[in-house]
């Protein structure tokens, strides 16, 4: 028996994902849509295993301007979905209904679910759902994804529409009679070229001169000519181009709908969200509040609550319980000494050193999930757009950077939503400066080893990344490679609401699971390799780590990092292995310090680091690992987004070069200012590099060469003909 597919569609921040989570529970499958990196979510309806819920990416329209819109449009027209549930934010009806009109015009059965009805009632507004249903010609259900009411009724309505099938006459939004006449004529010209179900859709898209619609249909030259004449005549009647005409008619229809069904008891009364936004998005208070919140999150995750769990895992679980149990078990089995060393000094020391930071990451993920679910993260994107635009970047660039706090790979992939090619490449190049979850153990290690009583170190890493992005954006926008105006940024600000516990716990679980999975695969293999080359020499004889293959290789590159304050072979090797996966930095230290007096313990690694480096050198090491080229997976994502080997190498060289320069400046100045170091050639070079960086930031931008678009070339050719 064929499964029933119901597609969830809606604007970003409309509550669509929360609705999907409630309807499917744990029966979810996440992957990528074929051919693109846009995330695909599919789940089984909890109350009927024959019903599949497809969560489409959040979009504002079905005009294919972004990968998300292309994915949603292609899926809806593929014939797979039997019905659409359109989740709309009832607190922002006008914006959300624009997509609704387009969904209805696909000819697929649609149920409109007006979300946040509980908030609407509290705000003093009333939405007459019956009138809205009558005007749209589709069922309308009031729901609250947060409180889980009305959702099952919505699915029931969708299933009821599917059962009716062809018996139900489809009703479309009615526009100006002159436009309707033109659309009817186009439908007649199309005839059987387009399926009857999609005839209204294609007539509208052809009227808008939609290129993708034209490619979908195999129109004859006669059909193309007739449709072109219909469009030109209609444009002359209205006095505007076809696409603008349709957009205006849709908004006229929506305005009439809003007047018909929305009653605002006190339209001048500020909502609670508006009152909060007056503070948190204030021109002067927004950034200090953001800084305070991020400091508080890192303080809770890295310095206090998260540290309790990490200390227990390092001191007890991986410092005592696991090693002792495994050691006694291996000895009782008479396992060879080299195998015992591999398991204890390689795998457990490496993987255990990474997993020891899991409690801190779980607390951090939970805090970030709460901020995102309550609506604050959207405000940050809004605030950052105001700042980024001054520095030559769009607020759209902040979204990938926000995603990159979880993982750099999807963060880089998210840069695809930026239409401007120069902005997209710059964003892909700079996004990985944000501390991702893989870098957080490094932050926790340096903060714990060198600054145990300073709560500023962990959040400062976040602002180092932000500073590198902003200042790089200013400097790069003044070069010929990136010169140009930033792309526009449009984003819906949802109302503040209490976070849904299920969503936040699922977010925390998914990200923690991904972290553990990396530790169980990449870090596992890396730990074995690092153990081997740190335990044997080139003759494959077991030796002290100082005489090992790794020590020899590390000794070759160590002088390169000496000006940064950590020029011994252990630090150099740890930084290099971080290119495979950033968590490897911790695993490498865990393996390399296994022969110290107190082994395989997080706190004991701190003591070893304290003996090897000064606090300023430790912070220099942190800065380098924050800014240098990301892991191999993220580099691969950068290559895919750049679609060019030269551009990929430009990104890697810039990232590594900036990391080296900033770390050099941090150590040279910090060593003199805080550790009473002598003023020498290092400080002079650091001052010169700093002056050069400031020059590239404050200098005047290069003049843009005049450009001509493909459309302009076509117009010239047509005029010449």
Q: Is the pLDDT assigned to residue 718 strictly greater than 60?
A: no
pLDDT given at position 50: 92
For residue 431, being part of any structural domain is answered with no
Q: Residue 217 is part of a domain; what is its CATH number?
A: 1.10.287.1770
Same-domain status, 81 and 52: yes
pLDDT given at position 710: 43
Q: Which two tokens stand for residue 301?
A: 């995750």
For residue 476, being part of any structural domain is answered with no
For residue 37, being part of any structural domain is answered with yes
Length of the chain (residues):
721
Same-domain status, 157 and 9: yes
pLDDT given at position 30: 65
Same-domain status, 17 and 150: yes
pLDDT given at position 454: 78
pLDDT given at position 109: 93
Same-domain status, 368 and 343: yes
Q: Is the pLDDT assigned to residue 602 strictly greater than 90?
A: no
Same-domain status, 229 and 91: no
Of 81-95, 235-249, 382-396, 432-446, give the lowest mean pLDDT range: 382-396
For residue 60, being part of any structural domain is answered with yes
DSSP lists the bridge partners of residue 44 as 52
Of 143-157, 192-206, 221-235, 408-422, give the lowest mean pLDDT range: 408-422
* Of the residues 567, 589, 612, the one at which a domain ends: 612
Of 597-611, 632-646, 670-684, give the lowest mean pLDDT range: 597-611
Tens digit of pLDDT for each residue in 97-131?
999 999 999 999 999 999 988 888 777 778 899 99
Question: With bands split at pLDDT 50, 70 and 90, how would you rate the model's confidence at 709?
Answer: very low
Same-domain status, 55 and 155: yes
Question: With bands split at pLDDT 50, 70 and 90, how would you rate the model's confidence at 413?
Answer: low
| Cα 513 to Cα 553: distance, rounded to the nearest angstrom | 34
| Cα 616 to Cα 618: distance, rounded to the nearest angstrom | 5
Domain that holds residue 65: 4-167
- 0.85 exceeded by the pTM? no
* Of the residues 167, 192, 214, the one at which a domain ends: 167
| Cα 402 to Cα 411: distance, rounded to the nearest angstrom | 7
Same-domain status, 145 and 247: no
Q: Is the pLDDT assigned to residue 383 strictly greater than 80?
A: no
Helix residue spans in 79-169 (DSSP H): 93-105, 117-122, 129-136, 151-164
35 closest CA partner among 9, 73, 70: 70
pLDDT given at position 603: 53
Same-domain status, 59 and 196: no
Section 431-453 average pLDDT: 84
| Cα 30 to Cα 282: distance, rounded to the nearest angstrom | 38
- Among 62-76, 540-554, 613-627, name the most confident range: 613-627
Tens digit of pLDDT for each residue in 147-171?
888 999 999 999 999 988 755 667 8
| Cα 210 to Cα 562: distance, rounded to the nearest angstrom | 59
Q: CA–CA distance from 166 to each of 110, 159, 169, 197, 679 (Å)? A: 14, 14, 7, 10, 84
pLDDT given at position 421: 77
pLDDT given at position 5: 94
Q: Is the pLDDT assigned to residue 597 strictly greater than 50?
A: no
pLDDT given at position 451: 86
Q: Is the pLDDT assigned to residue 138 strictly greater than 60?
A: yes
Q: Is the pLDDT assigned to residue 414 strictly greater than 70?
A: no
User: What is the H or E stretch that residue 711 is in?
Assistant: helix 710-720
Tens digit of pLDDT for each residue in 43-97?
999 999 899 999 998 888 887 666 778 888 889 988 889 999 999 988 888 888 9
pLDDT given at position 18: 85
Instruction: Please count the structural domains in the chain.
Output: 3
pLDDT given at position 273: 73
Q: Which two tokens stand for residue 389?
A: 């635009």
Q: Is the pLDDT assigned to residue 628 strictly greater than 70?
A: yes
| Burial grade of 15 (CB within 10 A; 0-12, 13-18, 19 or more) | buried
Same-domain status, 16 and 104: yes
- Among 153-157, 238-242, 296-300, 414-418, name the most confident range: 153-157
pLDDT given at position 62: 86
For residue 30, being part of any structural domain is answered with yes
Q: Is the pLDDT assigned to residue 388 strictly greater than 50?
A: yes
| Cα 75 to Cα 55: distance, rounded to the nearest angstrom | 11
* Of the residues 142, 167, 192, the one at which a domain ends: 167
Same-domain status, 355 and 212: no
pLDDT given at position 130: 92
pLDDT given at position 719: 40
Average pLDDT, the chain: 81
Question: With bands split at pLDDT 50, 70 and 90, how would you rate the model's confidence at 707?
Answer: very low
Question: With bands split at pLDDT 50, 70 and 90, how would you rate the model's confidence at 659?
Answer: very high
Q: Which two tokens stand for residue 36?
A: 């693109």
pLDDT given at position 271: 64
Same-domain status, 50 and 121: yes
pLDDT given at position 227: 92
Q: Is the pLDDT assigned to residue 294 strictly greater than 80?
A: no
Q: Which residue has the tokens 């009583």?
A: 453
Section 10-37 average pLDDT: 77
Same-domain status, 155 and 193: no
Of 485-489, 577-581, 713-717, give the lowest mean pLDDT range: 713-717
């Amino acid at each position: 028996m064929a499964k029933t597919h119901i597609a969830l569609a809606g604007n970003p921040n409309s509550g669509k994902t929360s609705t999907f989570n409630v309807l499917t529970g744990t029966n979810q499958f996440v992957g990528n849509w074929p051919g693109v990196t846009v995330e695909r979510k599919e789940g089984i309806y909890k109350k009927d295993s024959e019903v599949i819920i497809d969560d489409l990416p959040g979009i504002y329209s079905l005009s294919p301007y972004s990968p998300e819109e292309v994915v949603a449009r292609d899926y809806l027209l593929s014939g797979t979905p039997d019905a659409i549930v359109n989740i709309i934010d009832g607190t922002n009806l006008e914006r959300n209904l624009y997509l609704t009109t387009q969904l209805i015009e696909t000819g697929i059965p649609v149920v409109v679910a007006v979300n946040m009805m509980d908030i609407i009632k509290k705000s003093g507004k009333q939405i007459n759902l019956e009138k809205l249903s009558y005007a749209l010609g589709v069922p309308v259900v009031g729901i609250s994804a947060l409180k889980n009411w009305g959702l099952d009724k919505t699915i029931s309505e969708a299933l009821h529409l599917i059962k009716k099938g062809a018996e139900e006459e489809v009703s479309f939004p009615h526009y100006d009679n002159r436009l309707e006449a033109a659309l009817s004529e186009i439908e007649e010209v199309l005839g059987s070229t387009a399926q009857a179900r999609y005839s209204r859709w294609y007539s509208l898209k052809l009227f808008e001169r939609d290129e993708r619609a034209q490619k979908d249909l195999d129109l004859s030259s006669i059909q193309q000519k007739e449709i072109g004449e219909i469009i030109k005549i209609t444009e002359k009647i209205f006095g505007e181009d076809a696409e603008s005409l349709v957009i205006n008619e849709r908004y006229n229809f929506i305005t009439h709908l809003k007047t018909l069904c929305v009653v605002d008891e006190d339209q001048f009364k500020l909502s609670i969200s508006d009152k909060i936004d007056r503070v948190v998005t204030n021109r002067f208070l927004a950034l200090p509040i953001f800084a305070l919140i991020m400091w508080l999150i890192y303080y809770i995750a890295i310095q206090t609550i998260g540290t309790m769990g990490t200390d227990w895992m390092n001191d007890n679980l991986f410092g005592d319980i696991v090693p002792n149990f495994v050691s006694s078990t291996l000895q009782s089995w008479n396992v060879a000494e080299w195998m015992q060393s591999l398991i204890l000094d390689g795998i457990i020391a490496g993987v255990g050193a990474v997993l020891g930071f899991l409690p801190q990451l779980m607390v951090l993920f939970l805090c970030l999930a709460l901020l995102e679910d309550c609506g604050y993260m959207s405000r940050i994107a809004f605030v950052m757009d105001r700042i980024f635009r001054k520095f030559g970047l769009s607020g759209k660039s902040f979204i990938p950077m926000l995603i990159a706090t979880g993982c750099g790979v999807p963060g880089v992939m998210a840069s695809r939503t930026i239409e401007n090619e120069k902005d997209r490449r710059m964003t892909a190049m700079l996004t990985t400066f944000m501390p991702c979850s893989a870098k957080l153990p490094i932050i926790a290690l340096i903060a714990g080893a060198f600054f145990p009583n300073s709560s500023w170190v962990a959040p400062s890493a976040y602002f180092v990344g932000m500073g590198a992005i902003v200042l790089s954006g200013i400097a790069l926008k003044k070069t010929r490679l990136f010169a140009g105006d930033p792309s526009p940024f449009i984003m819906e600000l949802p109302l503040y609401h209490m976070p849904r516990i299920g969503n936040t716990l699922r977010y925390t679980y998914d990200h923690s699971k991904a972290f553990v999975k990396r530790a169980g695969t990449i870090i596992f293999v890396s730990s074995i390799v690092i153990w081997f080359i740190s335990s044997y020499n080139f003759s494959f004889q077991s030796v002290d780590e100082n005489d090992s293959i790794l020590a020899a290789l590390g000794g070759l590159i160590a002088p390169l990092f000496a000006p940064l304050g950590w020029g011994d072979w252990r630090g150099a090797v740890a930084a290099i292995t971080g290119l495979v996966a950033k968590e490897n930095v911790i695993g490498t230290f865990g393996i390399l310090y296994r022969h110290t007096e107190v082994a395989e313990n997080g706190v004991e690694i701190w003591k070893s680091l304290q003996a090897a480096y000064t606090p300023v050198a430790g912070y220099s090491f942190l800065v380098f690992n924050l800014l240098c080229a990301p892991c191999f997976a993220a580099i691969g994502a950068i290559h895919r987004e750049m679609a060019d080997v030269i551009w990929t190498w430009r990104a890697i060289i810039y990232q590594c070069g900036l990391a080296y320069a900033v770390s050099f400046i941090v150590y040279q100045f910090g060593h003199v200012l805080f550790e009473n170091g002598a003023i020498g050639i290092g400080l002079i070079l650091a001052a010169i590099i700093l002056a050069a960086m400031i020059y590239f930031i404050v200098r005047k931008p290069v003049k843009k060469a005049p450009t001509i678009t493909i459309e302009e070339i076509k117009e010239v050719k047509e005029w010449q003909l």
